[in-house]
Amino acid sequence: MPHKGHVVVIGDVMTDIIAIPEGPIVRGSDRRATIRLRPGGAGANQAIWLGALGVPVRFVGRVAAADVELQARYFTRFGVGPRLVADPAAASGVLVTLVDPDGERSFLTDRGANLNLSAADLPPDLLDGAGLLLISGYALFAEGPRSAVLAAVQEARARGIACAVDAASVAFLREVGVAQFLAWTAGFDLLFANEEEAETLSGTADLSAEMAALGATYAKVIVKLGPSGAALGGASGVAAREPAPIVDALDTTGAGDAFAAGYLSAHLRGDDDRTALAAGVRAGSFAVTIIGAQPESLVEASRLLG
């Protein structure tokens, strides 16, 4: 069933420095590369893709005070209602992405002002009129933001607002502990996870077993399978699978965020799970054909819609 009301996304705002070397890194010397500076942050990516897909969305995050006005204008361009908190001391977050020849990427992360997100940044009126609260897992990996976000989740559940979470980072999942993450997000309506995250959270590499195990914690589980598409299920195992089209992958950064937005845009308008899963795969497949985690413009995003 579709959820009435807009989507509230809580997560990171980052600047992505994307480096695509022409070949293997030469330790201690040079390697030619394509380098781009692009907006990013998992939560921000999801919000921008949702806005580009026409979903009413509000994004909450924390940035350096000097960046608030520019960032707010940027979000507004994509139809996102920004609620950006100005950090008086910390710099905005920065992510360095190293992209392999096959499009896979590795990250160096400095979350900056994102780490200072607090309960004061998430007042109860944030959820007025909301139908879905979408949490980036990154918002749960540090103690300060986590306590604030979990308080917002408690408020959302008290109001009957659906909650979804993206597992976000297998490295940080292992760092904070699987049992902790599952406890923090128990009872959520939806989990998004990639293959490695799903295996880490469930303790098994078998897809059906992963679904069954994670279905004990979440009402619905979606596992992103990269070039193999995606699968959806729950406590009864796999309910649907959707293959991915063959595309020339340029940069996989943000593909999972685009997938989540594509799935949710279809789900929120009332499409069935299989149709929504196909919409997610379509969005994720489009995202890997561009450099960066977000479309550069609504014109570019319209290629997905068209």
Please tell me whether residue 18 adopts helix, strand or coil conformation.
strand
Helix residue ranges per DSSP H, 192-254: 195-202, 207-214
Query: 121-163: per-residue pLDDT in tens?
Result: 999 999 999 999 999 999 999 998 999 999 999 999 999 999 9
How many Å apart are CA 154 and CA 22, to the nearest integer? 48
Q: Which residue has the higher pLDDT, 106 or 258?
A: 258
pLDDT of residue 52: 92
- Return phi, psi of residue 272, to 5°: -75, 170
From CA 169, how far away is CA 81, in angstroms rounded? 26
pLDDT at 305: 57
Q: Tally DSSP H helices, then E strands, for the chain.
A: 10, 13
Q: Across all residues in the chain, what is the average pLDDT?
A: 92
- Find residue 40's DSSP bridge partners: 14
Question: Mind listing the pLDDT tens digit for each residue in 77-97?
Answer: 999 999 999 999 999 999 998
Q: What is the pLDDT of residues 18-77, one digit of tens each?
A: 898 998 889 999 999 999 898 999 999 999 999 999 999 999 999 999 999 999 999 999
Rg (CA), the chain: 18
Closest-CA residue to 39 (of 89, 82, 88, 103): 82
pLDDT bin (cut points 50, 70, 90) of residue 254 is confident
Pick the closest to residue 56 from 243, 201, 261, 248 (CA basis).
Answer: 261
Long-range contacts of 208-214 (CB under 8 A, 24+ apart): 208/233, 208/237, 208/238, 211/235, 211/236, 211/237, 211/238, 211/239, 212/236, 212/237
Q: Which amino acid belongs to residue 158?
A: A
* Residue-level pLDDT at 292: 82
Q: Is residue 104 over pLDDT 80?
A: no
Q: 162-190 burial string, b = 16+ CB within 10 Å, else e? A: bbbbbbbbbebbeebeeeebbebbeebbb
Overall average pLDDT of the 256-265 stretch: 96
Residue ranges in 1-139 assigned as alpha helix (H): 42-52, 68-77
pLDDT given for residue 296 in this prediction: 80
What percentage of the chain exceeds 70 in pLDDT?
95
Q: Is the pLDDT of residue 189 over 90?
A: yes
Taking the alpha carbons at both ends of the chain, their separation in whole angstroms is: 25
Q: What is the pLDDT of residue 3?
A: 54
Q: What is the mean pLDDT of residues 195-217?
A: 97
Going by pLDDT thresholds of 50, 70 and 90, the confidence category of residue 291 is: confident
| CATH architecture of the domain formed by 6-12+40-91+114-305 | 3-Layer(aba) Sandwich (3.40)
Report residue 1's pLDDT band, with 50, 70 and 90 as the boundaries: very low
